[in-house]
Structure 1
């Protein structure tokens, strides 16, 4: 009866009420503590760091984010330390102190293994080099029964053996067979082509790029082939491996639709000296 009387008595309910109040106060304090620790509701929008120098963004945003460089990749013509990729992505909403995983441009290019190009056709060799992120530099021809097949591969003027490690993006010279006779090749039509297209077009015709001359203040973005030497004459053929000198003009200063039309209609597809003077 004593226990029953206590449970049903006023004092019990007072104690119960106090326990409930204390419980909810403790729960409230716990949530406040968690909110304070996690900065609940305080988020930041991630800026776009790509293209900026890592040292600058790390210094500028050091109080908001923790920067971690996970990898460095060599990129030709991009300054060392430039941010290439980031995680989280721009415009993501994150808490203060969030880790920012960054990939930057390396100081030196990565190294790759030189493939074995010997006895391959020029086209096969080109594909293998591209798969290794290497490029053809110049083509040379020697007496050999296998026409346009790779006889030797060189790097910086010396023979390079397969599996040798060299920098990604390196230029490789190829010595090719002439098939037992130096059969000539026709010069392709280059007028109006962009600088980045020239080497591929010439190599497809077993020719090399010689000097490049920019006639309009090195305007590489708008530059187009205006003239070549030797010029592309109907039926004119030259020895494989011949270097072709190229002159560029800006398509903002020259109407290349007219230049190309005239070049295709003329017997000689490059401009003679008189027609060149008309554009100055």
Structure 2
């Protein structure tokens, strides 16, 4: 079938074609307008709110803040942590500064007033690294480690809580510190005296643990009220003193003097004594 020359241009110029083309454009732009209108309506465009930071607030404070922002809050879980005050909000979803539409619910995780309790595991007979890993699994923490004469080197021999032996299955607060007696072997092996002055107690404890030595606090300042304070306190004096050639028997003790004042030194104490 042959198409007459110029018929294509004749069709384009025809009134009917132009009307249909115009209607097509009208429908196209109308659809765009409707889609934008629907999106504005669905997302509540122009009325979005910035999610406040509820961390550290009580539930009452959070509800009041949410009400001011036309938001809702809902507690969905609770944990026990020392990162925020007891009975306050620990975490939230969505996160602070996230943009949401009016009426959105913000889900909260509270810090429990009372700590969760767990059963004490049996660590006796385990290698030290395995015992520490098990404590972490139960939500507990390794406290002081005392090295004692025993043929099973780096093996846990006893477990303590607040200076008393604690048995397997005893209920204990999550986050508690468990002290351990660890075998140091029966050899007369010696190890170099480490330099501890200037380190935190926690850092020093890691070092002496690797050397199968023990720490004992001889003096601490009045600001140290808890084990957490002790761990972050600085050592300003040690006995025996560090020596590049000095050695100690495995299991021996290093006496340390600690303070929350990082700049405290033995010379400061000498000045106070002389002044008196």
- With the length of structure 1 as denominator, give the TM-score of the two structures: 0.64
Aligned length: 229
Counterparts of 1:44 and 1:111 in 2: how far apart (Å)?
Answer: 39
Query: Residues 243 and 124 from structure 1, CA distance in 2 versus in 1: closer, same or farther, beyond 3 angstroms?
Result: farther
State the shift of 1:169 in Å: 1.6
Match of 1:116 in 2: 122
Instruction: Report whether the alignment pairs 1:248 with 2:259.
Output: yes
1:210 and 2:220 equivalent?
no
Show the counterpart of 2:30.
none
Q: Where does residue 65 of structure 1 map in the other structure?
A: 71
Q: Is the 8 A contact 1:211 1:246 kept in 2?
A: yes
Structure 1 residue aligned with 2:24 = none
Taking structure 2 as the reference length, the TM-score comes to: 0.65
CA drift at 1:196: 3.8
Question: Residues 145 and 222 from structure 1, CA distance in 2 versus in 1: closer, same or farther, beyond 3 angstroms?
Answer: closer
RMSD: 4.0
Q: Deviations over 1:184-211 (max 9, x none)?
A: 6554211221344233223333313425
Aligned counterparts of 2:63 and 2:248: Cα–Cα separation in 1: 58
- Aligned partner of 1:129 in structure 2 is 135
Alpha carbons of 1:84 and 1:184: their partners in 2 closer, same or farther (altered >3 Å)?
same
What 5-or-longer segments of structure 1 have no aligned partner? 1-30, 260-270
2:218 matches 1:200? no
Matches within 5 A, 1:83-232: 83-140=89-146, 144-156=150-162, 157-161=164-168, 163-180=169-186, 186-205=192-211, 206-211=213-218, 213-214=220-221, 224-232=234-242
1:134-162 Cα shifts (integer Å, max 9, x gaps): 2222334555332332122233412321x
Gaps of 5+ in 2: 1-36
Indicate the SS of the match to 2:67.
Answer: coil
